[in-house]
Amino acid sequence: MWLNNTAQHTDTQLFSRIAAGDEEAFATLFHRYTARLFPFLVSIVKSEADAREILQETFLKCWLSRDKLNGVDNPGAWLNTVATHSAYNYLRSRARYEKHLDNLAPMAEDTEEIVHTLDVRYAQKAIARAVAQLPARRRQIFELSRNEGLSRKQIAERLQLSENTVRNQLMESLHFIQDYLRKNSDLSIPFVLLILQSI
């Protein structure tokens, strides 16, 4: 088990706050579990890039399901289950594409799961549209951070910029993306969801 009783109690409180739409609580949960879930997902899908996408999908599902979080007794186990299902759904889709479904155990998928998957895909596409609107250099910096997982220092060295410039550009990108989503979609996505690491 990942959580002791104290941690579980804290996570339950966070779930309750997230259920009420508290983005700060969501940010806390996101940072707490990213370090735990990411290596677990990499061990399943054998790809850091794919694991990042699945991690994002997991937290998107958490946010989209926030109205139900008050009824979750063990938040850590709940997140682990969502991440595991997302990872095996990914493997099943890849296996179907590669015509190797016989190597995977069949997984039941109810209507609610399908709806959530569609919601997640819609959110990811909306974020991609927002990123595409960024100026070229700002988009490059954002994608190096989000897609390649580079730190501010690594990005600064690669692009020959100061770390402060990189940080400011990332912050500008995130503010723009959140504003774009509010104006051009019906999504309400926490600020932290747009990145897979702290800036």
- Joined together, the tokens standing for residue 114 give 């399908």
Residue listed under structure tokens 């779930």: 15
Taking each helix axis from N to C end, the angle separating 152-159 and 136-146, rounded to the nearest 10 degrees, works out to: 140
How sure is the predictor about 84, in pLDDT bands with cuts at 50, 70 and 90?
very high
In a 13 Å sphere around the CA of 37, the CA atoms on its Cβ side amount to 31
Kindly state the average pLDDT of the residues 87-95.
Answer: 78
Q: What mean pLDDT value characterizes the chain?
A: 77
SS3 content of the chain, % helix, strand, coil (to 5): 75, 0, 25
How sure is the predictor about 100, in pLDDT bands with cuts at 50, 70 and 90?
very low
Please give the Cα distance from 152 to 150 (Å, whole number): 7
Give how far the C-alpha of residue 126 lies from the chain's centroid of Cα atoms, to the nearest Å. Answer: 14
Taking each helix axis from N to C end, the angle separating 75-97 and 5-19, rounded to the nearest 10 degrees, works out to: 70
Kindly state the average pLDDT of the residues 186-190.
Answer: 60
Residue 58 has pLDDT above 50, yes or no: yes
CA distances, 81 to each of 41, 117, 175 (Å): 11, 15, 31
Please give the Cα distance from 141 to 88 (Å, whole number): 31
Residue 1 has pLDDT above 50, yes or no: no
Please give the Cα distance from 154 to 144 (Å, whole number): 9
Please give the Cα distance from 188 to 162 (Å, whole number): 33
Domains defined along the chain, listed by start: 1-104 (1.10.1740.10), 130-199 (1.10.10.10)
Query: How much is the pTM?
Result: 0.55
The 3-state secondary structure of 150-178, one letter per residue: CCHHHHHHHHCCCHHHHHHHHHHHHHHHH
* pLDDT value for 9: 53
How sure is the predictor about 63, in pLDDT bands with cuts at 50, 70 and 90?
confident
Please give the Cα distance from 151 to 138 (Å, whole number): 15
* Radius of gyration, CA atoms only, the chain: 18
